[in-house]
């Protein structure tokens, strides 16, 4: 993930994954107003901009500031309300808008919020476009006079458009015949409305929990094993076939199997890729490509090999994966954090198409999810957060690269430092969503993965 050196006045996290901070602390309303105006000036001058938000308490407040900034800069705003992040780029395409902004800090705690910026192409801004916005922010705002201020309107059909796109590309009748029972935890976020509606349209018996967007997040919103440990018991009690967990803006998806075991976010992309590759393989499509980032499990290569498909890896971050997918003409892509990108629906991560693809795969396999997962070669992945800022992790990477630990490994420096051995790998990089760094390792066993992370920490003195 490339992190831009933000203007001196910005103290928040700035990257192609969003401009995010704690509201009233590292990101204030004046900055949001000016950032929105800078976006309008740089990327959508005088154009139409789609505006959405997730369920965070500050969402309406931030939306008002962003709409005001855009309109004062001469852009017209279409507010689509409380929606998943991928609904914004979908509506950019539908409305032929010049861009869009989703107000969401994704998996960050409730006091955080952010601006996720999209281009008129219906995808995340790239680094060059983000730099244009930041350059405009560094200048005095280009406020327009009375006659050139932008208009404002709201629409309430965006979720229907999103839903229709998904139902158009999956085998709805196949899924309906499977009569699956699904437990859905939307963490009271933006998936709370569309998630149950989608599952019902697919003929599932839906057991919704935490689908009240008018309520606070009931727990730490990141869908990790520890944070969603309650879900396994619900799946078992309801004799469900699967449990799905969304993050607050519904672009990431984690999974609990029919035995109530958390199989995690890494399997989300693997299962969705298997579903798409199987369908394309049956159709006789050749030269299949899947794209993901450097921190995603090597299980993807194992599944891709079944269909003679190729895996291409990019820097971490949705925008980078999308760029790789467009360059490689990939049929599917995503990240090991549960983000699925199906270009038939949207050029961005979407937990909704993720759920539909996993259910389609289960319906076709006619096996319990636990058995499907057991047929995939298993590796152990371990993730840790480090209290290192961008400069600190740059120094740490230099130390690790020179250390004997790196000897015999393939060295990849596309995004931080990745060391790859025949049966394991380690990735050290700065986070693009939080002011810290990450070290991730994958190995044959959990102890080996944890030990590899511990070795890295020892080398850098942490």
Given a contact cutoff of 8 angstroms between Cβ atoms, the answer to whether 38 and 70 are in contact is no
- Same-domain pairing of 362 and 432: no
> Residue 163: inside a domain, yes or no?
no
pLDDT for 423 equals 92
Which residues are paired to 118 by β-bridges?
100, 124
**295: annotated active-site residue:** no
pLDDT tens, residue order, the chain (462 aa): 444 545 557 888 898 889 999 999 999 999 999 999 999 999 999 999 999 999 999 999 999 999 999 999 999 999 999 999 999 999 999 999 999 999 999 989 999 999 999 999 999 999 999 999 999 999 999 899 999 999 999 999 999 999 999 999 999 999 999 999 999 999 999 999 999 999 999 999 999 999 999 999 999 999 989 999 999 999 999 999 999 999 999 999 999 999 999 997 889 999 999 999 999 988 899 999 999 999 999 999 999 999 999 999 999 989 899 999 999 999 999 998 899 999 999 999 999 999 999 999 999 999 999 999 999 988 999 999 999 988 899 999 999 999 999 999 999 999 999 999 999 999 999 987 777 899 999 999 999 999 999 999 999 998
pLDDT for 7 equals 56
- Same-domain pairing of 368 and 384: no
Given a contact cutoff of 8 angstroms between Cβ atoms, the answer to whether 113 and 101 are in contact is no
Element (H, E) at 318: helix 318-328
- Same-domain pairing of 133 and 22: yes
Please tell me which residue in 17, 106, 314, 431 is annotated as part of the active site. Answer: 106
pTM higher than 0.85? yes
Tell me the pLDDT tens digit for each residue of 81-111. Answer: 999 999 999 999 999 999 999 999 998 999 9
The enclosing domain of 339 has a CATH number of: 3.40.120.10
Distance of alpha carbon 255 from alpha carbon 271, whole angstroms: 10
pLDDT for 255 equals 97
> Residue 43: inside a domain, yes or no?
yes
How many helical (H) and strand (E) elements, i.e. helices and strands, does the chain have?
A: 15, 21
Distance of alpha carbon 217 from alpha carbon 110, whole angstroms: 7
Measured CA distances, 188 to 210, 212, 247, 249 (Å): 5, 5, 9, 10
Tell me the pLDDT tens digit for each residue of 439-454. Answer: 999 999 999 999 999 9
- Same-domain pairing of 296 and 415: no
> Residue 197: inside a domain, yes or no?
no
- Same-domain pairing of 289 and 324: yes
Q: At what angle do helices 29-43 and 127-137 cross, to 10 degrees?
A: 120
- Same-domain pairing of 402 and 331: no
- Same-domain pairing of 356 and 235: yes
> Residue 289: inside a domain, yes or no?
yes
> Residue 2: inside a domain, yes or no?
no
Q: Could you count the other beta carbons within 10 Å of the beta carbon of residue 391?
A: 9
pLDDT for 1 equals 42
Q: At what angle do helices 59-72 and 29-43 cross, to 10 degrees?
A: 40
Query: What is the span of the domain harbouring residue 144?
Result: 13-156
SS3 category, 315: coil
> Residue 161: inside a domain, yes or no?
no
- Same-domain pairing of 340 and 449: no
> Residue 8: inside a domain, yes or no?
no
> Residue 221: inside a domain, yes or no?
yes
pLDDT for 436 equals 87
- Same-domain pairing of 37 and 130: yes
pLDDT for 6 equals 54
The enclosing domain of 433 has a CATH number of: 3.30.310.50
Given a contact cutoff of 8 angstroms between Cβ atoms, the answer to whether 373 and 257 are in contact is yes
- Same-domain pairing of 132 and 280: no
- Same-domain pairing of 271 and 362: yes
How many domains does one find in the chain? Answer: 3
- Same-domain pairing of 98 and 181: no
């Amino acid at each position: 993930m490339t992190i831009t050196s933000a203007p001196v006045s910005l103290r928040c996290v700035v990257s192609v994954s969003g401009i995010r901070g704690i509201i009233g602390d590292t990101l204030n309303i004046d900055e949001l107003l000016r950032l929105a105006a800078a976006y309008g000036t740089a990327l959508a001058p005088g154009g139409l901009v789609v505006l959405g938000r997730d369920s965070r308490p500050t969402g309406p407040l931030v939306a008002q500031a962003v709409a005001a900034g855009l309109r004062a800069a001469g852009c017209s705003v279409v507010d689509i309300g409380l929606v998943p992040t991928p609904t914004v780029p979908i509506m950019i395409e539908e409305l032929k808008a010049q861009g869009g902004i989703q107000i969401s800090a994704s998996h960050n705690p409730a006091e955080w919020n952010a601006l996720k910026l999209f281009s008129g192409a219906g995808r995340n801004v790239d680094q060059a476009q983000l730099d244009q916005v930041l350059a405009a922010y560094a200048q005095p705002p280009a406020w327009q006079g009375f006659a050139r201020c932008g208009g404002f309107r709201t629409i309430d059909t965006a979720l229907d458009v999103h839903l229709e796109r998904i139902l158009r590309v999956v085998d709805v009748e196949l899924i309906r015949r499977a009569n699956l029972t699904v437990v859905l935890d939307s963490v009271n976020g933006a998936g709370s409305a569309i998630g149950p509606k989608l599952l019902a349209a697919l003929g599932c018996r839906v057991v919704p929990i935490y689908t009240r967007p008018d309520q606070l997040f009931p727990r730490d919103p990141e869908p990790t094993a520890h944070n969603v440990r309650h879900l396994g018991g619900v799946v078992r009690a309801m004799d469900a076939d699967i449990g799905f967990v969304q993050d607050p803006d519904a672009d990431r998806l984690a999974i609990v199997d029919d035995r109530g075991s958390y199989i995690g976010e890494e399997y989300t992309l693997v299962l969705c890729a298997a579903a798409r590759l199987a369908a394309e393989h049956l159709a006789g499509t050749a030269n299949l490509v899947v794209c993901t980032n450097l921190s995603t499990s090597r299980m993807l290569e194992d599944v891709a090999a079944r269909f003679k498909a190729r895996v291409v890896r990019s820097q971490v971050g949705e925008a980078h994966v999308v760029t790789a997918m467009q360059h490689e003409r990939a049929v599917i892509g995503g990240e090991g954090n549960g983000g699925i990108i199906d270009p038939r629906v949207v050029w961005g991560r979407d937990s909704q198409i993720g759920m539909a693809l996993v259910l389609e795969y289960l319906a076709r396999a006619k096996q319990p999810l636990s058995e499907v997962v057991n047929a995939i070669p298993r590796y152990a992945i371990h993730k840790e957060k480090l209290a290192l800022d961008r400069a600190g992790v740059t120094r740490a990477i230099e130390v690790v690269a020179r250390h004997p630990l790196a000897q015999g490994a393939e060295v990849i420096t596309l995004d931080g430092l990745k060391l790859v051995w025949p049966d394991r790998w380690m990735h050290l990089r700065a986070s693009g969503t939080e002011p810290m760094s990450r070290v991730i390792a994958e190995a044959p066993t959990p102890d080996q993965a944890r030990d590899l992370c511990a070795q890295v920490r020892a080398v850098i003195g942490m």
